[in-house]
């Protein structure tokens, strides 16, 4: 490969350039961005990139998934466990359209991801060529930014922009569609330069000190302040700043499912989970606090219930990096724009050191009521069939709350989020906003690649597991160590629960028949076992955790058990039901 030396006429400095194909430019750029793992699936329109990848095997670890949707979820799991940008490769047409669900999931959950899709030759665009699909227009509503490259000389700048946009400000997915001619074309390029600024793009809003002061004054005068915290704390790497704030102000704090792990589950100021299946106290007392401080969360409908009955008595302080989220659902008395890693220390400096013992005691009273009426029976049953809660409880005991828990979507997700212990940041990985069944298995694979020193446990329902069951092949080929627990209630459990409670037990197409999951796993050379008796549960969990390599544990749980507490749809959070 020729290296030419050109004289920059303006700076008079020597600038080295080299002639590279578009595919080589892409791969060298990924390495410069710190990428070490790619999840993908080859095809005709992206073949030049895969051909070039053959020479970069030492620098870039490519994981061959079994379906492109699996690649996006794996990249999400990788990003969520590592804090880095997840990277996906796919070909044009069906390869690109198979990414859509994962991209949409990453967009609503603010997960940084860069998807690279191959495209037909530029000369064929718009001709309905073989495997041509307009992926740019398809993904425009579900990406933070997308761009189609038709000339290789564009690639260095476009790729640098893509990574900067994906990970800066409120993170999200970016897609680059590269025509086949641009992948093959050779051009002379200068050394890759990362992007740190784009004109007209401001990832962080300007912090207004007067709003910080107003927020601090409200907090200092509050008798019953309450903090709601979300994933924004994790995305901003602001866990220590958040802990310092709540400990100084002495404020009870509750979390959204994506915010779990920002502060340890057992922290004395952590009062539990918000939302439809959250804890009793945080939901009821939302409508009793006098100052509500929302940090890095977006007031999703599953958290607020009926908006016209949500926290109407409270003055709301909303800290968020995305100005579009403030006043979108809940009107804020004081908006605090900015990165919470920067705004929280400013706020902490101004709040008074306090304790709110009587107020905190009310949360504990509600917690005890929930333990007596719901939690104890769910997590410590002495008779009857196994419950999902006791499986999670025993898993807690055996892992000391140190494992990364990756959940799918459904009853098992709510149970796991409610009862799992999250002692470390980035230890709860789930599909929040989109609620994507099939998320957990590929996401757990990616999470393990992103945090190989951690035990990664995927908790999945029998329905969701069958949506991406083929990714057992990815585990087999890559040799990654993922522990899989299938909580099998022989139903599409969450839908069945709603049909029981709100449709007079008219169980319409929620009975689901499953294969022998253990036998299927063994077909992929993954060991496993099935458990249905209480006396065998702990031993089976120990076997799974101690096994070298991936392991599948199917646990048969009671069929018609419901997840409570529950805020019925259309109700206020204070109307939460314990049974």
Whose CA is closest to 86, among 65, 111, 68, 54? 111
Indicate which residue of 19, 59, 130, 188 is catalytic.
130
Whose CA is closest to 230, among 75, 405, 433? 433
Instruction: Reduce the secondary structure of 434-481 to three states and give it as a string.
Output: CCCCCCHHHHHHHHHHHCCCCCEEEEEEHHHHCCCHHHHHHHHHHCCC
> Is residue 329 within 8 Å of 298, Cβ to Cβ?
yes
What are phi and psi for residue 511, nearest 5 degrees?
A: -70, 125
- DSSP, res 154: G
Distance CA 461, CA 230 (A): 25
Indicate which residue of 18, 47, 131, 328 is catalytic.
131
> Is residue 226 within 8 Å of 286, Cβ to Cβ?
yes
The verdict on whether 130 is a catalytic residue reads yes
Distance CA 392, CA 395 (A): 5
Residue 77 in tokens: 């799991």
Indicate which residue of 437, 494, 544, 566 is catalytic.
494
DSSP string, 30-59: HHHTT--EEEE---GGGHHHHHHHGGGTTT
Residue 126 in tokens: 């718009």
The verdict on whether 373 is a catalytic residue reads no
Distance CA 300, CA 279 (A): 16
Indicate which residue of 28, 33, 68, 229 is catalytic.
68
Distance CA 42, CA 532 (A): 41
Residues 6+ apart with CB under 8 A from 422: 260, 261, 264, 265, 401, 405, 428
Indicate which residue of 28, 161, 180, 448 is catalytic.
180
Distance CA 527, CA 510 (A): 29
**What is the sign, positive or negative, of the torsion defined by CA atoms of 519, 78, 106, 278?**
positive
The verdict on whether 180 is a catalytic residue reads yes
Instruction: Reduce the secondary structure of 283-341 to three states and give it as a string.
Output: HHHHCCCCEEEEECCCCCHHHHECHHHCCCCCEEEEEECCHHHCCCCCCCCEEEECCHH
Query: Would you please indicate which residues are annotated as catalytic (active-site) residues?
Result: 68, 130-131, 180, 494
């Amino acid at each position: 490969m020729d290296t030419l030396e050109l004289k920059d006429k303006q700076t008079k400095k020597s600038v080295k350039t080299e002639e590279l194909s578009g595919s080589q430019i892409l791969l060298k750029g990924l390495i410069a961005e710190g990428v070490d793992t790619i999840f993908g699936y080859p095809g005709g329109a992206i073949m030049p990139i895969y051909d070039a990848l053959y020479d970069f095997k030492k620098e870039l670890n490519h994981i061959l998934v079994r379906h492109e949707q699996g690649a996006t979820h794996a990249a999400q799991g990788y990003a969520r466990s590592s804090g880095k940008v997840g990277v996906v490769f796919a070909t044009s047409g069906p390869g690109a359209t198979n990414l859509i669900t994962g991209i949409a999931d990453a967009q609503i959950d603010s997960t940084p991801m860069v998807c690279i899709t191959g495209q037909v030759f530029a000369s064929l665009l718009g001709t309905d060529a073989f495997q041509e699909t307009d992926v740019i227009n398809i993904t425009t509503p579900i990406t933070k930014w997308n761009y189609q490259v038709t000339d290789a000389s564009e690639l260095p700048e476009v790729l640098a922009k893509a990574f900067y946009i994906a990970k800066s400000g409120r993170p999200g997915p970016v897609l680059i569609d590269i025509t086949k001619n641009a992948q093959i074309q050779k051009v002379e390029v200068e050394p890759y330069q990362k992007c740190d600024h784009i004109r007209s793009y401001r990832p962080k809003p300007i912090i207004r000190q007067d709003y910080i002061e107003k927020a601090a004054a409200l907090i200092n005068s509050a008798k019953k302040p309450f903090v709601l915290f979300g994933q924004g704390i994790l995305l901003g790497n602001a866990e220590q700043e958040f802990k310092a704030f709540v400990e100084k102000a002495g404020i009870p704090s509750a979390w959204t499912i994506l915010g779990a792990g920002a502060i340890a589950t057992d922290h004395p100021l952590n009062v539990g989970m918000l939302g439809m299946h959250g804890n009793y106290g945080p939901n009821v007392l939302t409508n009793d606090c006098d100052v509500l401080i929302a940090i890095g969360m977006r007031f999703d409908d599953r958290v607020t219930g009926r908006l016209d009955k949500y926290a109407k008595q409270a003055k709301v302080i909303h800290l968020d990096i995305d100005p579009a989220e403030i006043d979108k659902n809940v009107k804020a008395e004081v908006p605090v724009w900015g990165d919470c890693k920067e705004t929280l220390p400013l706020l902490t400096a101004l709040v008074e050191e306090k304790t709110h013992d009587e107020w905190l005691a009310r949360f504990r009273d509600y917690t005890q009521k929930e333990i007596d009426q719901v939690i104890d029976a769910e997590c410590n049953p002495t008779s009857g069939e196994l419950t999902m809660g006791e499986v999670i409880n025993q898993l807690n005991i055996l892992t000391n709350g140190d494992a990364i828990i990756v959940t799918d979507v459904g009853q098992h997700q709510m149970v796991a989020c409610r009862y799992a212990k999250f002692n470390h940041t980035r230890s709860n990985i789930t599909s929040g906003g989109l609620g994507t069944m099939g998320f957990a298995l590929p996401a757990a694979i990616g999470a393990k690649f992103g945090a190989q020193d951690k035990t990664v446990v995927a908790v999945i329902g029998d329905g969701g597991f069958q949506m991406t069951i083929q990714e057992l092949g990815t585990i087999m080929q890559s040799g990654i160590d993922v522990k899989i627990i299938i909580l099998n209630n022989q139903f599409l459990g969450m839908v069945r629960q709603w049909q029981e409670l709100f449709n007079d037990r008219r169980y319409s197409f929620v009975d689901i028949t499953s294969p022998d999951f253990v036998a299927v796993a063994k077909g992929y050379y993954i060991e496993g076992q099935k458990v249905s008796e209480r006396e065998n549960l702990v031993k089976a969990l120990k076997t799974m955790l101690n096994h070298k390599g991936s392991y599948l544990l199917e646990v048969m749980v009671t069929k018609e058990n419901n997840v409570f507490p529950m805020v019925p749809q259309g109700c206020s959070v204070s109307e939460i039901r314990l049974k």
